[in-house]
Amino acid sequence: MRRDRSLDCPKRRAKSSAKRVDPGRLSEGVARYMDYEALAYWARSALESSSELPTDVAREIERRRPGYLRSRSTVNQQTFSGSAHDWERLMLWTGDHFFQDAKIEGWFDAILTQVRNHPRAIRTMEFADHCDEVWSSKLPEPYPPFADWRREADLYVELPG
């Protein structure tokens, strides 16, 4: 069997891990991860803000990630709350709680690789960065509902110049 030497170690590991799962199951995992990631991007500005988490954001996170806010409150608030670590912690927590099967079975790297290259995920990330720029001085009031934000993210196109 010929090895693809053009792939670096993480890419080789992801390619190998994709062989450990049915393609339909992998596609479903990628779609689910993108949905979870979109929620995290939507909440990122609020999570990283030094002010209190808006009620609507807390409610949506609790509805879609039950238990995360409790786990967040047990962590040293000086270390994580209101920092970029909060967003990262949310994504790590999500992987640990909602993708245990993929981690245990060894195909979680394949999910991450496909998400990083998926047009919808890229568009969502770019829209989140745009929102961060627009909201840099103050969170919007009211904070946009997640469904509306997600719809806007799906339609987002960054025009040149």
Candidates 94, 105, 96, 90; CA nearest to 25 is 105
Sorted by where each begins, the domain ranges of the chain are: 22-153
Query: ∠ CA(88), CA(6), CA(112), 5° rounding?
Result: 25
Q: Which residue has the higher pLDDT, 20 or 155?
A: 155
pLDDT digits (tens, 9 = 90+) for 27-85: 999 999 999 999 999 999 999 887 789 999 999 999 999 999 998 877 644 444 455 57
Give the per-residue pLDDT at 147: 97
Candidates 118, 108, 145, 136; CA nearest to 48 is 136
Helix (H, G, I), strand (E, B) or coil at 98: helix
